[in-house]
Amino acid sequence: MKAVAVVIPAHDEEALIGRCLASVTRAVTQARERERDRALVATVVVVLDACADTTPAQARRWPVETIEIAARNVGTARRVGVAYALDRVDARPEDTWVAMTDADTVVPRDWITHQLDLMDAGVDLVLGTVRPDFADLSARHAAYWRATHHRGRPPGNVHGANLGVRASAYAESGGIPDLVEHEDVALVRALRALGAREQASDVHEVETSGRFVGRTPAGYAAFLRRVHAWIDAPPIAAPGA
């Protein structure tokens, strides 16, 4: 039997979590339909971390399990979510896949099936690509992104919004540390130290919010803000102009 555990940390994401969970639900449905002969077990866990808005109510409208914590720490939220999800599935760690994303992210329909294909091929770690929602960017910023990102050539960057790992490798690595940022990078570093078989892929690219103020100090939003400032900064006038 094969299992997949989807883990989503959420802090005050009432405006975006609905579309996230709609997309994850579609991806889980497709995976279950394709894996019907092998009785895929799938669970989706949303970790509600110190939410002060309607995110909990929004999440509970979907076929997911929720946990409430007050850590205000994305590393802790992911770690708690993975532990809970793995406890819910009844499959060997070698046959269990952990798929991670964020509450401001929309995943494609083949998000899970593609990762399961790589798992079947012996991959232990999948680094998926992330595309910002162009509706949140300026025209120049969106054009720059398109010009510098080419399909079929994934750079292998680490994004918690699109990260997958075999449960046995996750356990051996020690899991996600309790870090307020870059917890995904720390996990990947530990997995690489173990010699985990890694694959970068843009086949299951996700779309994440293009906002400039995120839920962690130095996350994807901060990166987009820096790029925006560089691209859209007004030109410096020459002396005497």
Q: What is the pLDDT of residues 90-124, one digit of tens each?
A: 899 999 999 999 999 999 999 999 999 999 999 99
Nearest alpha carbon to residue 174 among 160, 191, 157: 191
What is the structure's pLDDT at 224? 56
Rounded to the nearest 10 degrees, the angle between the axes of helix 139-148 and helix 220-231 is 110
CB atoms within 10 A of CB 90: 9
Query: What is the share, in percent, of the chain residues with pLDDT greater than 70?
Result: 87
What is the structure's pLDDT at 147? 85
> How far, in Å, CA of 11 to CA of 71, rounded?
10
DSSP 14: T
> 3-136+154-211: what CATH class?
alpha beta
State pLDDT tens for residues 140-188. 887 887 888 888 989 999 999 999 999 999 999 999 999 999 999 999 9
Nearest alpha carbon to residue 107 among 224, 190, 4, 216: 4
| CA distances for 150 relative to 84, 144, 157, angstroms | 37, 12, 14
What is the radius of gyration, based on Cα positions, of the chain? 18
| 223 has pLDDT over 70 | no
| CA distances for 131 relative to 9, 22, 105, 210, angstroms | 19, 18, 9, 9
Give the global pTM.
0.89
Nearest alpha carbon to residue 195 among 165, 169, 161, 214: 169
Check if the beta carbon of residue 95 is closer than 8 Å to that of residue 2. yes
User: Helix, strand, coil proportions of the chain in percent (round to 5)?
Assistant: 40, 20, 35
Check if the beta carbon of residue 73 is closer than 8 Å to that of residue 49. yes
Residue 4 Ramachandran class (φ > 0 left, ψ -120 to 50 alpha, else beta): beta
Residue 189: partners with Cβ closer than 8 Å, 6 or more residues away: none
Please classify residue 44 by burial: count the beta carbons closer than 10 Å to its beta carbon, then call 0-12 exposed, 13-18 middle and 19+ buried: buried
What is the structure's pLDDT at 12? 96
